[in-house]
């Protein structure tokens, strides 16, 4: 019985590590993505060298900055929500694994009634 549970634990712990590593990588990529968006936006908040400063270009730059700020904010919100969903999925998966482990343990006990009786005595 111990070997089956040990195998189950090794398998599930490996899967948990993979999911957690993927989540951490996505969090790191999100940080890099948001920093890149911020740097790009900062580059456009000032006037572009060589661009004539007319009311039309200032208005176009203002509209672009407004649009870009909206895109950056929505991107940040979307990635935050995606990470929350993924964290919830990992949590639900871990709970399911705990239940599955108990079911496996019960099946093993049923398959080995002599060991189950010895434990009870």
Mean pLDDT of each 10-residue bin along the chain, 121 residues long: 86 93 93 88 72 82 87 90 94 94 90 67 58
Query: Which residue reads 């434990």 in tokens?
Result: 119
How many C-beta atoms surround the C-beta of residue 68 within 10 A?
15
Query: Which residue reads 């060589």 in tokens?
Result: 50
What does the alpha-carbon distance between residue 55 and residue 61 come to, in Å, rounded to a whole number?
10
Quote the pLDDT of residue 121: 58
What does the alpha-carbon distance between residue 73 and residue 91 come to, in Å, rounded to a whole number?
27
Report H helices in 1-121.
2-45, 55-111, 113-120
Give residue 74's domain range.
2-120
Quote the pLDDT of residue 119: 62
Decide: 23 and 93 in contact? Cβ < 8 Å.
no
Does pTM top 0.75 for this prediction? no
Quote the pLDDT of residue 115: 65
Q: How far is CA 22 from CA 15, 31, 55, in A?
A: 11, 14, 48
What is the domain count for the chain? 1
> Buried (b) or exposed (e) across 78-99, using 16+ Cβ within 10 A?
ebeeeeeeeeeebeeeeeebee
């Amino acid at each position: 019985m111990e070997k089956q549970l040990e195998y189950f634990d090794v398998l599930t712990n490996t899967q948990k590590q993979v999911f957690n590593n993927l989540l951490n990588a996505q969090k790191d990529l999100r940080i890099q993505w948001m920093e890149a968006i911020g740097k790009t936006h900062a580059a456009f908040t000032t006037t572009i060298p060589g661009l004539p400063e007319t009311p039309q270009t200032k208005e176009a730059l203002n509209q672009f900055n407004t649009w870009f700020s909206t895109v950056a904010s929505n991107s940040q919100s979307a990635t935050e929500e995606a990470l929350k969903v993924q964290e919830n999925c990992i949590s639900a998966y871990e709970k399911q694994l705990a239940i599955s482990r108990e079911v496996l343990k019960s099946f093993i006990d049923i398959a080995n009634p002599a060991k189950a009786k010895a434990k009870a005595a």
